Amino acid sequence: MKLVRHSRNIHHLVTSSKSIRIAMLSDIHWDNPHCLRDYLKRDLDYCLKNDIPIVINGDLFCLMQGRGDRRSNKSDIRPEHNNFKYIDSVIETAVEWWKPYAHLILLIGYGNHETAIIKWQETDVLQRFVDLLNAQCGTNVQTGGYGGWLVIQQTVGKNGGNSVSTKIKYYHGSGGGGIVTKGAINLTRALETYEGFDVFSMGHIHENASRNDVREIVTHNSKQGYKSGLKQLHLMLTGTYKEEYDDGYAGYHIEKGRPPKPVGGRILEISTKRIINSGISTLERLVDSYQFPL
């Protein structure tokens, strides 16, 4: 199972597995003291135990404590990063921490926290992290975009004669999500914006949920000709590992009236099933996602 880059934000993964699980994470904010690393390690160890590949959809890092950053707060920097090489120390310590999981990581996309560093500090922290991790671990972790596509091709049957491709559209996210709608409008906007996806995944707003939508389509094959049918679409929001609410006493999160947020990512499961209808055998896809087990 190897990830192939077709362009800077389009990647293709081929597997012979009839069923594949992918850990869909985002908004880890690994270097922030509010990152619940115990929860993160629990979920990553679950991936390690079950050989589940990992995709990170932006904001792996927080990176708000650099010189001149108006978001900086002396209480929001970890001791090991409180030095004159702030960005370098974040990268170096992150590589050491992530080494046990490096072989599982397929793709890491950019979030607004990484792009802010490119804009204001003129360095690509995410690419530097990936390059150093690959150099030290001999892995093939790749960077994606703020948005992009991951195509999962499952080749099954004798000699891989049949295949099903699942097109995953990922987008780190925008907006605040809405205290009432909790990102439902963001998912509906995705239906308007992107064509041809089977799965849509978004982070950024620190919500954790999924839903299914259905579209009527028309298909064609040599035996049946044109035929109408229904296409299942799976849309998900991945949560954060940064717990900012604490006891509700004070702080930016509290002053903005933001509620406690769900912690953790989701596991995307893509299965194939052979269906026989009117004597014609077809390979169909079943998609679902769920939160990590406790």
Quote the tokens at residue 2.
Answer: 């190897």
Mean pLDDT of 229-238: 95
**Structure confidence by residue, pLDDT tens digits, 179-216:** 899 999 999 999 999 999 999 999 999 999 999 999 99
22 in Cβ contact with 229 (< 8 Å)? no
The sign of the dihedral angle between the CA atoms of 57, 144, 114, 75 is positive
Query: pLDDT above 70 covers what percent of the chain?
Result: 97
Helix (H, G, I), strand (E, B) or coil at 183: coil
Residues 6+ apart with CB under 8 A from 242: 27, 28, 29, 32, 34, 35, 36, 62, 206
Rounded to whole angstroms, what are the CA distances from 187 to 42, 84, 170, 290? 28, 42, 11, 17
Provide the pLDDT for residue 279: 64
Closest alpha carbon to 47 in 22, 27, 15, 17:
22
**Structure confidence by residue, pLDDT tens digits, 44-62:** 999 999 999 999 999 999 9
Q: In what order do the strands lie in the sheet with 2-7?
A: 2-7, 10-15, 147-156, 162-171, 199-202, 225-237, 209-221
- CA dist., res. 189 & res. 213, Å (int): 13
69, pLDDT greater than 80: no
Q: Which residues sit opposite 108 in a β-bridge? A: 56, 143
Residues 6+ apart with CB under 8 A from 221: 227
Closest alpha carbon to 102 in 57, 61, 132:
132
Provide the pLDDT for residue 54: 98
pLDDT category, 161, cuts 50, 70, 90?
Answer: low
pLDDT category, 275, cuts 50, 70, 90?
Answer: confident
- CA dist., res. 10 & res. 19, Å (int): 22
